[in-house]
Amino acid sequence: MKTLIIPDIHTNYKLAEKIILEENADKIVFLGDYFDEFYDNASIAQNTAEWLKESLNKPNRIHLFGNHDVNYAFHDDSYKCSGYSAGKDIAINSVLKTEDWKKLSLFTWVGSWLCSHAGVHPYWYSNQNIPFKEYLSNQCEAALDLAFSNKPAHPLLRAGKSRWGSEVVGGIIWCDIDEFALIENVNQIFGHTKVREETWFINDGQNSRNVCIDNVINLCNYAVHDGKTDKITIKNTRKIK
């Protein structure tokens, strides 16, 4: 199986669809941050929401939450981040209802690779008596239960000190590349931090390979996973544009 992994699109869903056509993958994973871009407005936000609603109903697509999505999905102030506006909130939620937001996840696995918006720091794996996959699943389920109950954000959905947040390090939608640290025996693919080229964190001794595929040029990079070899290839969108 060939899986396409697309990082932060920030309203550029038209380019995302071009990438999908180019790669003809069996499965597509979006790493979140569909909304908020410089100089966008309520109309652009609504168009993006309409695309997302349609995309959520395609069976070969998996959509993850980013920090710029939870600020519209959940209304407690603890979920808000830069780029938010009340006008965009109204436009987005005129299209996306609770049943739509519930189709998004905080993570997914592609082969041995953990896909999330910002990566998972070992700080969040505090009870190592429980296998990592089980522990992460339990924590993410608890975080979304709070969110959909209109409760303040679970620590896993909060920003760290590098973004002037309340946590020691950012959670699964907030971890910055300058605070990221690998987890032994876990491979990760994530976006969130805009870097000039894909940035790898590799420790073969700890059996951990990790890569950030967001870019300072919006939607410049994406990844392709080969299901036969479990290999990740990073590609560039310049020719697609």
16-42 residue pLDDT tens: 999 999 999 999 999 999 999 989 999
**pTM, 2 dp:** 0.96
Number of domains in the chain: 1
- pLDDT at position 241 is 65
Task: For residue 232, tell me if it sits in a domain.
Answer: yes
- pLDDT at position 216 is 78
Q: Which domain range does residue 15 map to?
A: 2-236
Confirm if 208 and 231 have CB atoms less than 8 A apart: no
Report the half-sphere exposure of 110 (CA within 13 A, side-chain side): 32
What CATH number should be reported for the domain holding residue 77? Answer: 3.60.21.10
What is the DSSP secondary structure assignment for residue 232, as one 8-state letter?
A: E
Would you state the structure tokens that stand for residue 140, as one six-digit string? 């993410």
- pLDDT at position 165 is 87
Q: Edge-to-edge strand order for the sheet containing 107-110?
A: 107-110, 113-116, 187-190, 208-212, 199-203
Task: For residue 199, tell me if it sits in a domain.
Answer: yes
> Residue written as tokens 């070969």?
60
Q: Is the dihedral of CA 187, 192, 195, 198 positive or negative?
A: positive
Q: Phi then psi for 234, rounded to 5 degrees?
A: -95, 130
Task: For residue 241, tell me if it sits in a domain.
Answer: no
Task: For residue 100, tell me if it sits in a domain.
Answer: yes
Task: For residue 81, tell me if it sits in a domain.
Answer: yes
Task: For residue 166, tell me if it sits in a domain.
Answer: yes
Which residues, given as ranges, of the chain have pLDDT below 70?
241
What is the DSSP secondary structure assignment for residue 22, as one 8-state letter?
A: H
